Protein backbone atom coordinates (compact mmCIF):
# COMPACT_ATOMS: atom_id res chain seq x y z
CA UNK A 1 0.00 0.00 0.00
CA UNK A 2 1.42 3.38 -1.00
CA UNK A 3 2.03 6.18 1.51
CA UNK A 4 -0.65 8.25 -0.24
CA UNK A 5 -3.18 5.39 0.06
CA UNK A 6 -2.35 4.92 3.75
CA UNK A 7 -2.83 8.62 4.37
CA UNK A 8 -6.19 8.59 2.57
CA UNK A 9 -7.42 5.55 4.50
CA UNK A 10 -6.24 7.01 7.78
CA UNK A 11 -8.08 10.25 7.06
CA UNK A 12 -11.27 8.37 6.24
CA UNK A 13 -11.10 6.33 9.43
CA UNK A 14 -10.50 9.43 11.56
CA UNK A 15 -13.48 11.15 9.98
CA UNK A 16 -15.71 8.13 10.58
CA UNK A 17 -14.53 7.80 14.16
CA UNK A 18 -15.32 11.45 14.82
CA UNK A 19 -18.72 11.17 13.14
CA UNK A 20 -19.54 7.93 14.98
CA UNK A 21 -18.77 9.61 18.30
CA UNK A 22 -20.68 12.77 17.44
CA UNK A 23 -23.68 10.75 16.28
CA UNK A 24 -23.84 8.83 19.54
CA UNK A 25 -23.47 11.97 21.67
CA UNK A 26 -25.81 14.18 19.66
CA UNK A 27 -28.47 11.49 19.71
CA UNK A 28 -28.25 10.45 23.35
CA UNK A 29 -27.48 13.73 25.12
CA UNK A 30 -28.53 16.34 22.57
CA UNK A 31 -26.83 18.53 19.99
CA UNK A 32 -26.84 21.62 22.19
CA UNK A 33 -25.51 19.71 25.19
CA UNK A 34 -22.54 18.27 23.29
CA UNK A 35 -19.38 20.31 22.87
CA UNK A 36 -16.65 19.85 20.33
CA UNK A 37 -14.15 19.25 23.14
CA UNK A 38 -16.13 16.24 24.36
CA UNK A 39 -16.27 14.83 20.82
CA UNK A 40 -12.50 15.24 20.48
CA UNK A 41 -11.88 13.49 23.79
CA UNK A 42 -14.30 10.60 23.31
CA UNK A 43 -13.29 9.95 19.71
CA UNK A 44 -9.61 9.82 20.65
CA UNK A 45 -8.84 12.56 18.14
CA UNK A 46 -7.08 15.89 18.26
CA UNK A 47 -8.64 19.27 17.59
CA UNK A 48 -6.76 19.70 14.32
CA UNK A 49 -8.14 16.43 12.95
CA UNK A 50 -11.72 17.27 13.89
CA UNK A 51 -11.63 20.73 12.37
CA UNK A 52 -9.87 19.43 9.29
CA UNK A 53 -12.86 17.18 8.56
CA UNK A 54 -15.60 19.34 10.12
CA UNK A 55 -14.60 23.02 10.20
CA UNK A 56 -17.58 23.89 12.41
CA UNK A 57 -20.12 22.27 14.68
CA UNK A 58 -22.75 23.17 12.10
CA UNK A 59 -21.08 21.02 9.45
CA UNK A 60 -20.82 18.19 11.95
CA UNK A 61 -24.52 18.64 12.71
CA UNK A 62 -25.42 18.38 9.03
CA UNK A 63 -23.29 15.23 8.72
CA UNK A 64 -25.09 13.80 11.76
CA UNK A 65 -28.50 14.46 10.22
CA UNK A 66 -27.40 12.84 6.96
CA UNK A 67 -26.17 9.79 8.88
CA UNK A 68 -29.47 9.49 10.77
CA UNK A 69 -31.45 10.03 7.58
CA UNK A 70 -29.65 7.19 5.86
CA UNK A 71 -30.29 4.78 8.74
CA UNK A 72 -33.93 5.77 9.30
CA UNK A 73 -34.93 5.58 5.65
CA UNK A 74 -32.92 2.39 5.11
CA UNK A 75 -34.71 0.69 8.02
CA UNK A 76 -38.08 1.78 6.67
CA UNK A 77 -37.26 0.76 3.11
CA UNK A 78 -36.17 -2.70 4.26
CA UNK A 79 -39.45 -3.20 6.11
CA UNK A 80 -41.46 -2.07 3.10
CA UNK A 81 -39.65 -4.48 0.81
CA UNK A 82 -40.00 -7.36 3.25
CA UNK A 83 -43.67 -6.71 4.03
CA UNK A 84 -45.62 -5.66 0.92
CA UNK A 85 -48.87 -6.43 2.77
CA UNK A 86 -49.85 -3.23 4.59
CA UNK A 87 -51.11 -4.76 7.83
CA UNK A 88 -47.99 -6.90 8.18
CA UNK A 89 -45.81 -3.86 7.52
CA UNK A 90 -47.54 -1.83 10.23
CA UNK A 91 -47.04 -4.61 12.73
CA UNK A 92 -43.39 -5.05 11.77
CA UNK A 93 -42.75 -1.30 12.10
CA UNK A 94 -44.08 -1.32 15.67
CA UNK A 95 -42.10 -4.45 16.56
CA UNK A 96 -38.91 -2.88 15.19
CA UNK A 97 -39.35 0.26 17.31
CA UNK A 98 -40.11 -1.73 20.45
CA UNK A 99 -37.09 -3.98 19.89
CA UNK A 100 -34.81 -0.97 19.31
CA UNK A 101 -36.08 0.64 22.53
CA UNK A 102 -35.55 -2.51 24.58
CA UNK A 103 -31.99 -2.81 23.26
CA UNK A 104 -31.31 0.89 23.98
CA UNK A 105 -30.83 1.57 20.27
CA UNK A 106 -33.69 4.05 20.00
CA UNK A 107 -34.05 7.16 22.16
CA UNK A 108 -36.68 9.01 20.18
CA UNK A 109 -36.84 10.59 16.77
CA UNK A 110 -33.40 12.11 16.07
CA UNK A 111 -34.80 14.76 13.73
CA UNK A 112 -37.46 16.05 16.10
CA UNK A 113 -34.92 16.15 18.90
CA UNK A 114 -32.48 18.07 16.75
CA UNK A 115 -35.17 20.46 15.49
CA UNK A 116 -36.32 21.27 19.02
CA UNK A 117 -32.83 22.51 19.82
CA UNK A 118 -31.68 24.29 16.68
CA UNK A 119 -34.58 24.75 14.25
CA UNK A 120 -34.72 28.54 14.57
CA UNK A 121 -30.96 29.07 14.74
CA UNK A 122 -30.07 28.45 11.11
CA UNK A 123 -32.17 28.24 7.92
CA UNK A 124 -29.88 25.54 6.54
CA UNK A 125 -30.95 23.21 9.33
CA UNK A 126 -34.58 24.01 8.56
CA UNK A 127 -34.20 23.20 4.88
CA UNK A 128 -32.28 20.00 5.59
CA UNK A 129 -34.91 18.78 8.05
CA UNK A 130 -37.73 19.66 5.65
CA UNK A 131 -35.93 17.65 3.00
CA UNK A 132 -35.79 14.61 5.28
CA UNK A 133 -39.52 14.89 6.03
CA UNK A 134 -40.26 15.16 2.30
CA UNK A 135 -38.23 12.01 1.55
CA UNK A 136 -39.96 10.16 4.36
CA UNK A 137 -43.42 11.08 3.08
CA UNK A 138 -42.44 10.28 -0.50
CA UNK A 139 -41.27 6.81 0.56
CA UNK A 140 -44.58 6.16 2.32
CA UNK A 141 -46.51 7.43 -0.72
CA UNK A 142 -44.64 5.07 -3.01
CA UNK A 143 -45.37 2.15 -0.69
CA UNK A 144 -49.07 3.08 -0.57
CA UNK A 145 -49.16 3.40 -4.35
CA UNK A 146 -47.92 -0.17 -4.65
CA UNK A 147 -50.56 -1.30 -2.15
CA UNK A 148 -53.26 0.40 -4.21
CA UNK A 149 -51.94 -1.16 -7.43
CA UNK A 150 -51.99 -4.63 -5.82
CA UNK A 151 -55.62 -4.19 -4.76
CA UNK A 152 -55.00 -3.95 -1.01
CA UNK A 153 -56.24 -0.37 -0.73
CA UNK A 154 -58.96 1.58 -2.46
CA UNK A 155 -58.09 3.61 -5.53
CA UNK A 156 -60.18 6.42 -4.03
CA UNK A 157 -57.60 6.92 -1.30
CA UNK A 158 -55.79 10.26 -1.25
CA UNK A 159 -52.26 8.88 -1.07
CA UNK A 160 -50.63 12.22 -0.23
CA UNK A 161 -53.04 12.84 2.66
CA UNK A 162 -52.78 9.31 4.04
CA UNK A 163 -48.97 9.35 3.86
CA UNK A 164 -48.91 12.50 5.98
CA UNK A 165 -51.33 10.96 8.48
CA UNK A 166 -49.15 7.86 8.78
CA UNK A 167 -46.11 9.97 9.56
CA UNK A 168 -48.07 12.09 12.05
CA UNK A 169 -49.37 8.98 13.85
CA UNK A 170 -45.85 7.60 14.05
CA UNK A 171 -44.38 10.81 15.42
CA UNK A 172 -47.22 11.31 17.87
CA UNK A 173 -46.65 7.86 19.36
CA UNK A 174 -42.89 8.30 19.48
CA UNK A 175 -43.19 11.72 21.13
CA UNK A 176 -45.58 10.47 23.83
CA UNK A 177 -43.34 7.49 24.55
CA UNK A 178 -40.35 9.83 24.78
CA UNK A 179 -42.23 12.06 27.23
CA UNK A 180 -43.48 9.23 29.44
CA UNK A 181 -41.22 6.22 28.73
CA UNK A 182 -44.46 4.21 28.60
CA UNK A 183 -44.18 1.47 25.97
CA UNK A 184 -47.96 1.38 25.59
CA UNK A 185 -47.65 4.35 23.25
CA UNK A 186 -45.40 2.30 20.99
CA UNK A 187 -47.59 -0.80 21.10
CA UNK A 188 -50.76 1.21 20.50
CA UNK A 189 -49.13 2.93 17.55
CA UNK A 190 -50.24 -0.05 15.48
CA UNK A 191 -53.88 0.65 16.38
CA UNK A 192 -53.49 4.31 15.41
CA UNK A 193 -51.95 3.36 12.10
CA UNK A 194 -54.54 0.68 11.31
CA UNK A 195 -57.38 3.13 11.97
CA UNK A 196 -56.04 5.36 9.20
CA UNK A 197 -56.56 2.57 6.67
CA UNK A 198 -59.92 1.26 7.85
CA UNK A 199 -61.98 3.17 5.30
CA UNK A 200 -59.64 2.26 2.46
CA UNK A 201 -59.39 -1.50 2.90
CA UNK A 202 -61.72 -4.05 1.33
What does the pLDDT profile of the chain (202 residues) look like in tens digits?
344 434 434 455 899 999 999 999 999 999 999 999 999 999 999 999 899 999 999 999 999 999 999 999 999 999 999 999 999 999 999 999 999 999 999 999 999 989 988 867 788 898 999 999 999 999 999 999 999 999 999 999 999 999 999 999 999 999 999 999 999 999 999 999 999 999 898 7
| Annotation: CATH topology of 11-55 | Arc Repressor Mutant, subunit A (1.10.10)
C-alpha closest to that of 140 among 72, 199, 195, 189: 72
> What residues does each domain of the chain span?
11-55, 62-196
30/64 Cα distance (integer angstroms): 12
136/175 Cα distance (integer angstroms): 17
Q: Partners of 153 in the beta sheet?
A: 201
Q: Which CATH architecture has domain 62-196?
A: Orthogonal Bundle (1.10)
Amino acid sequence: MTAQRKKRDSGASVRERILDTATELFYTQGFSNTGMRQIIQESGSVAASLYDHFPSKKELGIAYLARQEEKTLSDLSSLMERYPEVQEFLRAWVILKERQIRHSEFHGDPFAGFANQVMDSDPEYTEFLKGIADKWIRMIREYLSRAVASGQLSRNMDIHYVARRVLMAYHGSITLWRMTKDLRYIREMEDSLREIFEEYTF
